[in-house]
Chain A
């Protein structure tokens, strides 16, 4: 089974509108971490936001927020007030288990295009 599922291969959003990128995950661990990364066309991986499995509040970082629904095993990324520079590939990733050094497992990604 896939550990991380991103069901939207591509999304369009109008500039200044909000957009939600979906991510569901599969783990039997109680302790895990969920991450979102942005990959612009230049190729680098830019960390956006982190949510720990024991965090009761949804994580927020500026225009990014993570809609964490633990029972549904979903960790959707919400980008508010989209900008043209938000056009990129977005990856959801998970670190399973309590060990600090465990690897990240990535989803297939969602390409986001912001229209002016």
Chain B
């Protein structure tokens, strides 16, 4: 069964450093998303991406965040200058038509 692949599974970074989280969505999917989940809390929407541009973003997705689909397969989330409160599980998701959202297994980001 096709899956969304996220790398790395765990990342530890120093506060103030830049991190890039990588995702390979399912190949025929058209819509891509990043969500985050602070430990034990609800899953929060960050950004959606369609046709090579951001279609929607949340209040969380400020100037420190950016997304890219550099080569038609990878979908990346960059955090420019990480803060302690960015520590969370980050999920990438994709869907072809909006009724089958497939999530990756997540990247656990720890900012120290």
> In the complex, which of the residues A43, A44, A46, A100 contacts B31, with contact meaning CB atoms closer than 8 Å?
A100
Q: Does A106 sit at the interface, judged by CB under 8 A?
A: yes
Pair B98/A99 contact, Cβ less than 8 Å: yes
Is A115 positioned at the interface, with any CB of B under 8 Å from its CB?
no
Main secondary structure, interface of B, reads strand
B31 touches A47 (CB 8 A): no
Tell me the residues in window 69-110 of chain B with beta carbons closer than 8 Å to chain A beta carbons.
Answer: 89, 91, 93, 95, 97-106, 108
Chain B residue nearest in CB terms to A89: B40
Q: A101-B50, A109-B42 are in contact. Are A43 and B89 (CB under 8 A)?
A: yes
B: which residues have CB within 8 A of A?
30-31, 33, 35, 41-45, 48, 50, 55-56, 89, 91, 93, 95, 97-106, 108
A residues whose Cβ falls under 8 Å from a Cβ of B: 33, 35, 37, 42-47, 50, 52, 91, 93, 95, 99-109
- A37-B103, A44-B104, A91-B42 known; 20 other A-B pairs, CB under 8 Å? A42-B105, A43-B108, A44-B105, A44-B106, A45-B43, A45-B91, A47-B103, A52-B99, A93-B43, A99-B98, A100-B31, A100-B95, A101-B48, A102-B98, A103-B45, A103-B48, A104-B35, A104-B93, A104-B101, A107-B42
